[in-house]
Amino acid sequence: MSEDGSAGSWKEVYRLHLSTDETWFHPKIRWSQIAGAGISPSATMQIRFTATDDAPAGTVEAAIDGVIVSTFLCDPVAAGDLNCNGSVGFDDINPFVALLVMG
Ligand SMILES: [Ca+2]
């Protein structure tokens, strides 16, 4: 993922290791993983998918059938705790701004 898609801004957030003849997967990436990679939400965020093969390289087939971006409520809900870490603090500002920008 990248905050703006610029060169050098891409950070790996999630890696899925598959062997052969795998079926469809439905990985879920949580905000804590994105924040843990050092990415702050922005209106220009971008997602990139990379399919590679270990050596010796063979044929790589990959497909993305859909991407869903959703919000969720913290459990328990704490007013202002927008990064769902259980407290209200400085790190809640970026998610708040992102919500404002995204409407
Ligand atoms: Ca918080």
Output the CA 59–ligand 1 centroid distance in Å: 44
Expressed in angstroms and rounded, the spacing between residue 55 Cα and the centre of ligand 1 is 42
SS3 71: coil
The confidence band for 63, taking pLDDT boundaries of 50, 70 and 90, is: confident
Centroid of ligand 1 to alpha carbon of 56 (angstroms): 45
User: CA-CA distance, 62 to 51, in Å (whole number)?
Assistant: 6
Confidence of residue 80 (pLDDT cuts 50, 70, 90): confident
Categorise residue 94: left if φ over 0, alpha if ψ from -120 to 50, beta otherwise: alpha
Dump pLDDT digits (tens) for 84-96: 888 899 988 988 8
Closest CA to 91 of 10, 49, 9, 32: 32
CA of 80 to the centre of ligand 1 (A): 7
pLDDT at residue number 103: 58
Report pTM: 0.59
Residue 31, C-beta contacts closer than 8 angstroms, at least 6 positions apart: 83, 84, 95
Q: For residue 22, how far is its CA from the centre of ligand 1 (angstroms)? A: 37
Instruction: Tell me the residue length of the chain.
Output: 103
Distance 64 CA to ligand 1 centre (A): 32
**What pLDDT does residue 90 have?**
92
| Of residues 102 and 43, more confidently modeled | 43
